[in-house]
Amino acid sequence: MLKLPAILMLICTLSWSSVSAQEENYSQGKLAYEKGDFVINAGISFGLIGYGYGYYGSRSFSVPLTATVDYGATDEFSFGGFIGYYGTSYGPKGNRYGFRNFSFGAQGTFHATAIMNEAFDMDIDEKKVDYYVRLMLGYETFSWTYNGKSYSDFYYDNQTSGRLVFAPVLGVRYMFNPNLGVYVEGGRGTYGYLTLGLSVKF
């Protein structure tokens, strides 16, 4: 029968071997971005741009949500699409206004980590870090609703409109392992100046 010290030593040895194997597999794994990657991103935006509706009365709103997909066409360039949703309601009790926004479109992304390492003699870990520049081109729809008794505000009810979206973005993604990471994006984005989210890579 094994004694406790021997059992602990065996557990430590097996644990160390497992960690070492995982590190070796990770070090030999894929880069944070490379050709053929398929990535799904989901995030929330802060610092809303151009959606300043409802600055009086009580207000409620949903968190601006975004989702994107990317496919690695080359070692430097990926393409895909995006969707987003944001909504709010505001106004005094009995006269509530609602605002909803949906956005969708295409995006192209230039992945710059390798070029930054080469051009500026940097030492960024390309297996974990992906710096990128993204351009998003799409369309967003706006809709307003009104729930109240004031006929003078009836024109708000069920009104819709839309506009084109051109969104330049700077971002960085950090991969915890070859399949899961987090990202931060600054710029126009889908909804705000700052977007935080998770990335799942296949």
Claim to verify: residue 121 and residue 166 sit in the same structural domain: yes
Q: Residue 19 sits in which domain range?
A: 1-30
Whole-angstrom distance, CA of residue 127 vs CA of residue 112: 13
Judge if 1 and 61 occupy the same domain: no
Q: Which residues pair with 185 in a beta bridge?
A: 171, 195
> pLDDT per residue over 23-66, tens digit each?
444 445 689 999 999 999 999 988 776 555 444 444 566 678 89
Sign of torsion over alpha carbons 101, 102, 106, 112: positive
Whether residue 76 has pLDDT greater than 50: yes
Do residues 12 and 68 share a domain? no
Same domain? 97 vs 42: yes
Q: What is the mean pLDDT of the chain?
A: 79
User: Residue 94: which CATH number?
Assistant: 2.40.160.20
Q: 56 with 109, same domain?
A: yes
Q: Do 165 and 68 share a structural domain?
A: yes
- Please give the distance of CA 184 from its chain centroid, rounded to a whole number: 7
Spatial distance between the Cα atoms of 60 and 74, rounded to a whole number of angstroms: 43
**Is 100 found in the same domain as 6?**
no
Q: How many residues does the chain have?
A: 202
66 and 153 inside one domain: yes
* Claim to verify: residue 146 and residue 190 sit in the same structural domain: yes
Domains in the chain, number: 2
State pLDDT tens for residues 126-177: 999 999 999 999 998 888 777 766 545 545 556 678 889 888 899 999 999 9
For 93-158, list the strands marked E by DSSP: 96-111, 129-147
SS3 string of 21-39? HHHHHHHCCCCCCCCCCEE
